[in-house]
Amino acid sequence: MTDDERADNVEQIHSREFLWQLWPILPLYPYGKRRTIRKEVVKDTIWTFDQLQGIFYVVVPIRMTVVKLDDGGLLVYAPVAPTPECIRLVNELVAKHGNVKYIILPTISGLEHKVFVGPFARCFTNAQVFVAPNQWSFPLNLPLSWLGLPPKRTQVLPQDSTKTPFAEQFDYAMLGPIDLGPGKFAEVAFFHKRSHTLLVTDSVISIPEDPPAIVQLDPYPLLFHAKDQASDIVADIPVNRRKGWQRISLFALYFQPSALEISEWGQVFRDALKAPERSNRAYFGLYPFKWKENWQRSFNALQGGGRLFVAPILQTLILNRAPRETIDWTDQVASWNFQWIIPCHFDSPIKAAPHQFRQAFSFLEKQPVSAGFGDSSYPLPEEDFKVLRVIDTSLNKLNIVPPVKDKV
């Protein structure tokens, strides 16, 4: 066997490690090939497993958290795609710390989380599966077993967290369900008492200035969004990766921030003819985006030095439908003495105190509470919410979603 043949063989073996065959159920980038990065965030206690997902190269991390139980075994919060690589990395922990005992689905609306739970549970046949109450599916509301969850091992999380087999080690608080018309939103935050760590799904995030490690395994999406025009050839250097990541973050959270203009399609097609790469991977040279010079200012306001905040989409389209219920939930969560927060997206782990978590939801209050640490970057710039406000108004006029409720 030649060196080239050996290299090809190694590449094929690695490719099989990343294989996710059920990707057509939820066809998000990177489709059937998903890498996994495991990171120990609390020594011998908590590990995160990062993968990647996105649309049109707007790629962000999606994260599973694994916690070692005091009496041996593991609890898994929000599973990711159970690729051979991912399961191998979990089984390395199983060999050292014991079997996966509990698998938690902490959301009812996040399809990007729900789709992995059944396949992941089938890889660990002795684990009990606990799901957030009020699960639903669209267009038909199907039983949990029809959604791929193992019927004999799946149960709904009780409202009283002391009624679970892991109650001595974890507390949890349920937000919702919040009625959104066609569906509902809910999230269950878990608090691991011994490590003082809070696990959340979508409710709060923090954005790093530089692209996370999982995004840098394949820098093409970063370099694609670092372009200023279709004809650009972007060098793979750190400053361009950072530029692409920051623009991706604006896309992911605002859809269309104020610093972004969409070019006329006639011009887009003409510009595509000048593109140095017109392959399928490069979307045939199509690049309809035009960034204003002040785009960096929008990112800086969003990133806010890495502080906690609620994603603009949740602020505009979801949580403002239930401000009182949300604030009550944040008060309950903020009563725990956590020191770290691990969300399912963007940065992790985040060093944060309960009052900082509480402050992130001040957009729901008429008289916001003071965090006491001089956070002048809140609230986010109103001009960047323009497209989200238009979407919200349109959905409300069509009676698709309920109206916004008054702040508390």
Nearest Cα to Cα of residue 175 among 77, 65, 321, 311: 321
Burial of 235 (0-12, 13-18, 19+ CB in 10 A): exposed
Please, what sign has the CA dihedral across residues 264, 270, 273, 276?
negative
pLDDT confidence of residue 274: 85
Instruction: Look over the chain and give the mean of its residue pLDDT values, rounded to a whole number.
Output: 90
Summarised one tens digit per residue, pLDDT across range 273-297 is 888 888 888 888 888 899 999 999 9
H/E run at residue 49: strand 46-55
φ, ψ dihedrals at 62, nearest 5° = -125, 135
d(CA 197, CA 341): 6
Nearest Cα to Cα of residue 373 among 350, 390, 388, 354: 354
Q: Strands 154-156 and 128-131: what pairing? A: parallel
pLDDT confidence of residue 13: 53
Burial of 147 (0-12, 13-18, 19+ CB in 10 A): middle
* Interacting residues of 237 by C-beta distance below 8 A, sequence separation 6+: none
Q: What angle do CA 341, 343, 345 make, to 5 degrees?
A: 145
Q: What is the DSSP letter of 101?
A: E
Is the preceding omega at residue 349 within 30 degrees of 0, hence cis?
yes
Positions in the chain short of pLDDT 70: 1-14, 137-146, 369-378
pLDDT confidence of residue 25: 86
Nearest Cα to Cα of residue 114 among 90, 151, 144, 158: 144
Q: What SS3 class is residue 405? A: coil
Q: Are 406 and 320 in contact (CB under 8 A)?
A: no
Domains and their CATH numbers in the chain = 35-206+307-408 (3.60.15.10), 216-304 (no CATH)
Instruction: Return the percent helix, strand and coil in the chain, to nearest 5.
Output: 35, 20, 45
